[in-house]
C-alpha cells in the first residue's frame, strides 16, 4: 500500500516538473472584407451566387485559404458606407476591397462629395494598417460628359494619391451585357459575378501578396 502511494506521489511530481509543450497554432487564413453596395451584397442573387462567396470559392479552388466577409449594403452611397465603417470592419480583418460609388452616380451626388467620402474611408482603413483594393465605378452617360469624366477620374486620383491597388471598373466586361446582367439592367447575374471575379483575381492576388508581406 505504501509502495502504491509512493508511486502515485512520484507520478504526480513528474507531471508537475515535466516541461509543458505548447501546440503552436497554424497561420491564420487572411480575412478580406468586401465593403460595398448592392453589387457586393448580392442583390437579386442566391446566397451562394454573390461576389464575396464566388471570390472566396475561386481562391480556394486554386489552393488559397482565405475568408471573404460580405460587408455590402444595398443602396449604400460612399458616405453611408463611411458612416458604418467602424463596425463593418471586424477586428481580424487583413485587407479591404472597396466597391462603392454606383449609388452616388445614380443619385447625381457631386463627384467631389463621393471623392471626399471614399478618401475618408481609405484613410481610416490605412490607419488600421490594412492593404486596400479600390474598385472604380462608371456614371451613367445621361449624367453628361463632364460628370462622367469627373466621376471616373476620382478613383484613379485616389488610387494614385494613396498608393492602393486599383481596378478601374468593377463591372468591366459585364455592364450592358444582357447575358451577364439581371433584368433590372444594373446588377450582375450569377454568370456576371463569375466574370467579375475572374477579371478581378489578379488584383486580389496583389492584395494577398501585400497581406503576406506584412507577416
User: What pTM does this model have?
Assistant: 0.87
190 found inside a domain? yes
Pairing of strands 132-135, 67-72: unpaired
Q: 108: how many CB neighbours lie within 10 A of its CB?
A: 11
Q: 104: how many CB neighbours lie within 10 A of its CB?
A: 26
Spot the catalytic one: 91, 146, 178, 184: 184
Spot the catalytic one: 38, 76, 94, 104: 38
CA nearest 191: which of 175, 200, 178, 180?
180
Q: How many domains does the chain have?
A: 1
Average pLDDT over residues 179-194: 97
pLDDT tens-digit readout, 89-138: 999 999 999 999 999 999 999 999 999 999 999 999 999 999 999 999 99
Reply yes or no on whether 94 is catalytic.
Answer: no
CB of 157 closer than 8 Å to CB of 114: no
18 found inside a domain? no
Identify the band that residue 63 occupies on the pLDDT scale cut at 50, 70 and 90. very high
CATH number at residue 56: 3.40.50.1110
2 found inside a domain? no
Structural domain containing residue 60: 27-213
The span from the CA of 66 to the CA of 53, in Å, is 11
Spot the catalytic one: 37, 76, 94, 187: 187
Reply yes or no on whether 187 is catalytic.
Answer: yes
Identify the band that residue 26 occupies on the pLDDT scale cut at 50, 70 and 90. low
Reply yes or no on whether 184 is catalytic.
Answer: yes
Amino acid at each position: 500500500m505504501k509502495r502504491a502511494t509512493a508511486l502515485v506521489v512520484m507520478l504526480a511530481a513528474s507531471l508537475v516538473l515535466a516541461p509543458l509543450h505548447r501546440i503552436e497554432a497554424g497561420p491564420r487564413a487572411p480575412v478580406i472584407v468586401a465593403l460595398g453596395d448592392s453589387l457586393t451584397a448580392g442583390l437579386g442573387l442566391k446566397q451562394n451566387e454573390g461576389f464575396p462567396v464566388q471570390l472566396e470559392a475561386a481562391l480556394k479552388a486554386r489552393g488559397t485559404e482565405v475568408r471573404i466577409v460580405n460587408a455590402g449594403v444595398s443602396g449604400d452611397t460612399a458616405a453611408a458606407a463611411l458612416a458604418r465603417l467602424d463596425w463593418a470592419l471586424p477586428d481580424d480583418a487583413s485587407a479591404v476591397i472597396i466597391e462603392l460609388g454606383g449609388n452616388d452616380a445614380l443619385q447625381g451626388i457631386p463627384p467631389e462629395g463621393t471623392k471626399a467620402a471614399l478618401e475618408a474611408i481609405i484613410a481610416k482603413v490605412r490607419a488600421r494598417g490594412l492593404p486596400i483594393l479600390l474598385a472604380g465605378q462608371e456614371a451613367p452617360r445621361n449624367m453628361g460628359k463632364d460628370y462622367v469624366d469627373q466621376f471616373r477620374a476620382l478613383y484613379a486620383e485616389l488610387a494614385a494619391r494613396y498608393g492602393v491597388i486599383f481596378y478601374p471598373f468593377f463591372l468591366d466586361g459585364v455592364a450592358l451585357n444582357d447575358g451577364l446582367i439581371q433584368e433590372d439592367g444594373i446588377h450582375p447575374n450569377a454568370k456576371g459575378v463569375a466574370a467579375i471575379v475572374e477579371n478581378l483575381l489578379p488584383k486580389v492576388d496583389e492584395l494577398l501578396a501585400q497581406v503576406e508581406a506584412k507577416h
